[in-house]
Each structure stands twice: as C-alpha cells, then as structure tokens.
Chain A
Amino acid sequence: MAAVQETVDRVRQIDVDQYRYGFETIIESEKAPKGLSEDTIRFISAKKNEPAWMLEWRLEAYRRWLTMQEPTWARVDYPKIDYQDLYYYSAPKPKKEIASLDEIDPEILKTYEKLGIPLREVEVLEGVVRPEGERKVAVDAVFDSVSVATTFQEELKKAGVIFMPISHAIQQHPELVKQYLGSVVPTSDNFFATLNSAVFSDGSFVYVPPGVRCPMELSTYFRINERNTGQFERTLIIADKGSYVSYLEGCTAPQRDENQLHAAVVELVTLDDAEIKYSTVQNWYPGNSEGKGGIFNFVTKRGDCRGANSKISWTQVETGSAITWKYPSCILRGDNSRGEFYSIAISNGYQQVDSGTKMLHLGKNTTSRIISKGIAAGKSQNTYRGLVTAHRKATNARNFTACDSLLIGDKCGAHTVPYIEAKNTSALFEHEATTSKISEDVLFYCVQRGLSQEEAVGLVVNGFVRDVLQQLPMEFAVEAQKLISISLEGSVG
C-alpha cells in the first residue's frame, strides 16, 4: 500500500497542465488505491490526462454524491456495499494504441475465446473479407475500463462518424463532450449515476453528423476481470439531424466469488429526424448456485429524443448479474418523436432483476411502445417496473405496453409494477400484462415429439420472447437465443 500512497502523493503534486502530456510515463501504478475520495477522482482524471473542466465536473458530481442516499425502492435485496472497499480504477498492462491484432495480448484474445464471443470480431480485426451482404461490425473493445483496440476508424472517419473511447473524445472533441455529457442524465440524477459521473473510467463516444447513416453496426464488448474493481462505463451517443446509428453492446464476465459493482451511464441524444437503435446483451456472472457472488448491475440508460421526428429504440436481453437495476428510458421531447423498449429479462438461481423503462411524453404526437418479457426460474425474483406519462402539452401521445411474465418452478417470483399517468385528454395509453407458466400440456406435446424437457422449455421460451429477439440485429439474435437456453439450464427439475 505504501507504494500506492506514494504514487497518489506524486499525482497530487503535479499540476494539471503539467501532467497532461507527460503523465503516463510517470505513473506506473495500474490501480487507483482502494476507496473513494476527491483524491481518487483526481487520480482517475490525471490517469486519463483530462482537462481541468472535466476534473471539476467529476468533483462536483462527487460532492453531490456525498449528500445522496442509495435508493431502496426497487425489489432487490443485497448486502450493503462498502464504497470505501472498492477500487475505482484499473488498467490492463499494454497501454499503447495498437494497429493490428498481433499486437493485442494473446491472453486477452484467449479470454475472449473462452467467453464464447464468436471469432467474427477477430476476423474483422484481421481484416478478413466477409461474404457480400453481411454487415460489418466495428468493435471498440472496452477491456477493464480502458479501450485496448479500436477498429474501422478509417472507414468511419470517411463517413464523418466519430467513434472512440470517451476518454479520447474528451481530449479530441471537448466541445461536443461539453455540450452533451450530462445533458440527458445530469450529474445529480440518481445515486448510481452521480457516482458514475464522479468516477467513470471509460466508455464509448459516438457522434454521427447530419444526414449520415452510419455505415456499420457499432459494437462494444465489456468484461470485468479485475477482482474488486468497480466498473463505471460512460457512453455518449449523439445522432445529429437526419442521421442513423445502430449500437450493440454485449457483456460477459468470468466467474468471481466476490460481488462486483457496476454502475454505468449511457446517454443518447437524437436531433431532428435522427434515429438511434441501442441493443444490449448482458450476461455477467450471476452468482453461483447458492446465490454467492455475481455482479451488481446498477445502470442508468436514457435517451433524449431532442429533435422532432426522432426515434430511440432500446432492445435488451438481460440474463446475467446477481442484481439488475436498470430502466432504459426515453424522453420524448421533440414533436412526433418515438421511443421503443424491447426487453427480455431472464432470472434463474438467486438472481434479482428490477428492470423496465420510462416513456416520458412531452412533445406533440409522440408515440412509444414497450414490449417486456420476463422469465423467472429457480429462486429468482423478476420485476418489471415501468412509467408511462403524458404531460399537459403532449397532445395525441400514444403508448402501447405489453408485459408478459413466465414462471418456471414454484420458488420464484414475477412482479409487474407499471405506473401509467396521463395529463392530456388526447392521450391514448394501452397497457396489458399477463403472468403464466409453461403449460404441462405444451411440454408434453413437445416431449412426445422427441424433445427433451430442457429443449422443450428452451423452445417455448424462445417462442415467448420472439417478438423481442426479432428486434435485435442478426449478429446478436443468434447469440441471444443461445444465451437464453444456457441461462435456463437446470431450471427444469
């Protein structure tokens, strides 16, 4: 610890402008010391070579955070988190930018392979020519808080799309970051988002200029591999007027005995006539069969349809994490804007999921659609929590919500907590929810045709979630379908 403390002390001595250019050669430490204080934040900011305004932004969030209470309203139960017993920054060893796959640590590649991530991305990295008609996937692999590889920069650059780690964007596009960061999820938004604002490690930054349709799906893989390292991803996507981008995010994590905290913030902004499609497959370590370990996933994701006729669509497949606390939401500010939320949330073992969405109708003729499929198995608790609200000026607001729950076994719980609020006579809200189990007759029918019990359950479940799976880009749909079957393994007695 003494060495670490020494490092911190040295950081403190260095003036911001001084370390902006030469800092990395001075600091050898890969980890911030345990615990959270203004010093930790200065350390992170220094590590990232951040300008003074960014550090100030972080510190302001931190001071705000100190006054906030951890929320308790969600139906999740977890041991108290000691925020002073966590690391808030860690970086993988190879620090320099790399141009080709050969330069990536083979250990890292091996881990990707073990995690079952298709080699497709590796091929992409190697520049293998894909058969015609297949879309390209650009990968900005976030590996333990720091980006280790960024690809396709050239092609994106040609289209004018900025896709880079947010830490780079802070350096290279400060005007965009200053304008949009925290404009959807303010630093004071909620306990976890405020924490993220103070300590965020890295994440993706996307800017799509006016009229540009992003030439490829943008994809990021997250992984947590350092023990006791809080992960605080920060993602900011801006689709300027008339542009379109589809962003894929997938996570897997190796087994860990100790709980790991993850508090990400994702902000999306669409200007007039723009569209963002954001897809997530989340498969972090859910804990063992006794409910020990697993990731605590407290995520704030919000999209702001700032411009008229804009659209934001969230699709999520949530199968991992011990605790999921996540409500990807849409602020429908622009007239005629549209928000969508498609969700599959699967809980097994002792997992606890409290997830849903908020659709805030502010503009005229705004529409939203919510399709939520919750599947509870084992001893898990699975809650859909959603808010649909139409404000006074939201004439002709339209919402359709369908949330269905499927129970597998009699030790789990499935809950639905919708809040439906209308302050406008021309609003039309429709909401329906069902809860049921897989009928014995259906299972027997499948088994009589030769399927095993597990195959039969997998088939029925995939049928149940089909509407949502269809919303995923092809690359993810196949993976997600496999994931669903894997996550329900052992749920049929």
Chain B
Amino acid sequence: MDVALVKPATERATRELFAAARDRLPGSGPVSEARQAAFDDFARRGLPYRRIEEWKYTDLRTLLREIAPLAAAPDQAALASAAKAVTAYVAGDAYKLVLVDGVFAPQLSDQTPETGVEVRALRDILENNDVAARADLLTTTAASDTMISLNTAMATDGIVIDVAENAKLTRPLHIVHIATQSSTAAFTRSLLRLANGAQATLVESFVAAEGAAAYQAHDSVVLWIGDDAGLQHVRLVEDARDAANISTAIVTVGAKATFNSLNLTSGAAVSRYQGFIKFSGEGSHADVNGVNLLNGRQHGDTTLVLDHAVPHCSSNEVFRAVLDDQAHSVFQGKIIVRPDAQKTDGRMMTRALLLSDGAEADNKPELEIFADDVSCGHGATIGALDESLLFYLRARGLSEKEAQALLIQAFVGEAIESVADDGLRDVVIGAAERWLAARG
C-alpha cells in the first residue's frame, strides 16, 4: 500500500501544517468534517509521485517536496503591492475578481456586475453557514485526486459565481490570483454555475506581485454548464519563475451546451493543470486546448480527461508545447467513451516543439473506449523547428530569434485560435508574446 511509502516525517509535517491552518479555514460543522475527511485522504496518500500512474511524469515528492505553510491574510502593504500587479495583467473590459494570497480582495475587484450574475466570496458563504448556498461547495465526487483533497481541506477562499437562466454576459469574468508573499502556499476554490441557456466567459490568471518568490498556488475550480449554455474558459499561468502552481478544473457539461477552454502556461517552476471534463447531457461539444511555453528548468504538466458519459457529444483537444533549455513538458490526454455513449466523436492532437537538446517532452494521449459506434482519434508529434522554414525566414532578413518567434507563434496559433473573442485572444497572445520576449 501507498501508506508505507509516505515518509512519516513528511506526514507529521503535513499534519502540523493543517493543524496550524485550522483557525484560518472558514466553515464549521459539516464543512469542518468535509475538510477533515479530505485532509485525512491527503495525509494517507501523501504527495503524488511517479508510481501513481496519473502523476507518472510529475513526481511532486521530488518537484515540490513539501507543502509550504499557509500564506498569511493580506495586509495593506500586500494589497497595495497586489494592486500594481492587477493593472499589469487584466484585459480591458473584464469584470475582475481579485484573490490576493488566497483571499478575496473586494477593494481591488470590480463592484458592479451585469444583471444576471451573482458573485460572492466562498469565505462569506462558508462563514455565514448558509446551508443552502454551502451545499457541495467543498465536496466533489467528480474526480478523485490527492491534490483535490488537499485543496478541499485547505481552501481559504474563492469566488462563487451564478449566472441566471438565459443571461448572456457581455463582459468576461476575470479571476486574478495574485501572490505577494514568498515561500508560502495559497489555497483557493472557485465555482461557476451557468444556468440553462446562459453564456459567459471566464478568465483565470495567476501572477506574482513584485518580489513574491518560491510560493505555491493551489487552486481548483468547479464549473457547471447548464443545458443550451456556453462557457468560454481561458487560463493564463504566469506565476513567478520559482513558484509552483497546482490547479484543477472539474467541469460538467449539460445538454446541447458548449465548453471552450484554453490553458496557457508560461510561468511557474512546477505546474500541473488537470482538467476533468464530463458530458452529462447529449448534443454537446467541448474544445479543450492547451499551450505550454517553457524554458530554463520549468516543468509544466497538462492532464486532461474527457469523459463521454452520454451519447452524441463531440470533443476536440489541441495541445502545443514549446520547450527550450532544460524544460520539461507533460501532456496526458484521456478520452473515455462510456458503454452507452454511442455517436461520440473525440479528437486529440498534441504536438511538441523542442528548441534545445536538454528539453524533454512526454506525451500520453490515451483512448479508453467501451462503445462501438464512435469515431475517436489522436495524433502526437514531437520534433524540432523545420530548418528549411527557418532558413527561408533568415534569408528574408529575420534574425534567428525573430524567425523562431514567428514559427513558434504559428505553432501555438492553432491552439489559441479557438478563442473566438478577438480581445480575449489578444490577451492570450499577449501572454505568449511576453514569454517570447523574455527569451530575448
């Protein structure tokens, strides 16, 4: 059993961490019990490591070693420092919701949502012991994973958003995670419920305020997409170069609904984004795309599970990794087609571009199919930049870096294209450009 493999010293340290954090974790009664149960699960299994198949390529016992102590609630100085970071990274027309060191900061957030949207802080709901609103905020059975358990146990705050039936939001909702402290960990859990027929765009970004280093961001987001509803979801991980980002999205897609998602990781020393997307109604479509732009010794892992639990749904995954220096990119994509999910169409294409001999790309595109009337496929390529294209551009007068940049933009473009809104796509491209510019 795994129990034996958890170092007792580490487990003790983790238990102390939880005990120390207890007072700061909102909610009592059933919420506390849920936290304790989740924590016990984490403590029993410990940090995931290479012998856990889902974490084969991202061994947190070596990459993360331990969970950092909980970050302190932000003080005035922290909020001031966070305020500067917000302006630098947020798209112009977005309705922004800011979490500083894992705590909602209303003073940095936009106050006037559109009609049809209700926004609350998770902490308020849990502390007010609002039983109806609280239900299943912290418990999710959609996915089982130690890092989700840890998140459930430790979440200090988050944003809870409800979008009313048939409401069509015109401005994106933008959750901005800002770390201002060093060597601490923030835990957040956000939820978005789109009622039937609603349309919304959710942007999540992860950034560091000036001077914040070696911190850990642990986030999870639970998204419910109602029937005939549509969600555009964009994640930008631009954490500090020595930080860690461990994030989970649990998505349930209703009938005749659409889910369009893009995760772009260019920051953090160690990152893992795991998306569990499940179709619960027929006639729906999901585009789940990802881009890893990594250099130095960065390790970036994107793990997606597309669960076709019902018939007549289609999904398409496009993943691109660009790797320089000693960077390590992981893509694991699994398409599950359940026994009755006939007429499923599932596609997955993953490509990695290696710019340096020290870089490593690991791909595991997996199909698990139990229904026969389906059409599923995946493709994977790993390779270097096309020398002849580089030469063509060089011959036209571009420097090597410029030529590479152009080809890299084209390479990741396919994944980014799925973002329909021009303004939002520019935000994503902006993040990619920042990474390219930092390469020099």
Contacts and interface: CB of A to CB of B under 8 A. Distances in A.
Contacts of B106: none
Contacts of A421: 360-363
Given A392-B357, A424-B354, 18 more contacts: A73-B53, A413-B368, A415-B367, A416-B365, A417-B366, A418-B365, A423-B360, A425-B355, A425-B359, A427-B383, A427-B384, A428-B384, A430-B380, A431-B378, A431-B380, A432-B377, A432-B379, A437-B374
A419 B362 contact: yes
Nearest to A426: B384
A431 B365 contact: yes
Nearest to B383: A428
Q: Bin chain B's interface residue count.
A: 35 or more
A429 B380 CA distance: 8
A171 B364 CA distance: 46
Interface string A390-417: 0010000000000001011111111111
A65 B236 CA distance: 49
Contacts of A409: 372
A289 interface: no
Given A421-B361, A422-B382, A424-B354, A416 B375 contact: no
B93 interface: no
A427 B364 contact: no
Q: Is the interface of B mostly helix, strand, loop or mixed?
A: strand
Nearest to A390: B382
21 contacts: A405-B367, A413-B369, A415-B367, A418-B363, A418-B366, A420-B363, A420-B365, A421-B361, A422-B352, A425-B359, A426-B384, A427-B383, A429-B382, A430-B379, A430-B380, A431-B378, A435-B369, A435-B374, A435-B375, A435-B377, A437-B372
A392 B354 CA distance: 12
Give the interface centre of B364, B367, B368 by most chain A CB atoms within 10 Å: B367
B78 to A, nearest CB: 41
Given A413-B370, A418-B366, A424-B354, A435 B381 contact: no
Contacts of B339: 410-411
A418 B380 CA distance: 10
A245 B178 CA distance: 65
A425 B366 contact: no
Contacts of A453: none
Contacts, number: 116
Nearest to A424: B357
A419 B56 CA distance: 11
Nearest to A75: B368
Interface string A419-456: 11111111111111111110000000000000000000
Contacts of A432: 377-380
Contacts of A420: 361-365, 380, 382
Contacts of B354: 422, 424-425, 427
* Minimum-distance CB pairs A-B, first 5: A407-B372, A425-B354, A431-B380, A416-B367, A420-B363
B318 interface: no
B376 interface: yes
A415 B366 CA distance: 7
A185 to B, nearest CB: 22
Nearest to A416: B367
A417 B366 CA distance: 5
Given A422-B352, A422-B360, A431-B379, A415 B369 contact: yes
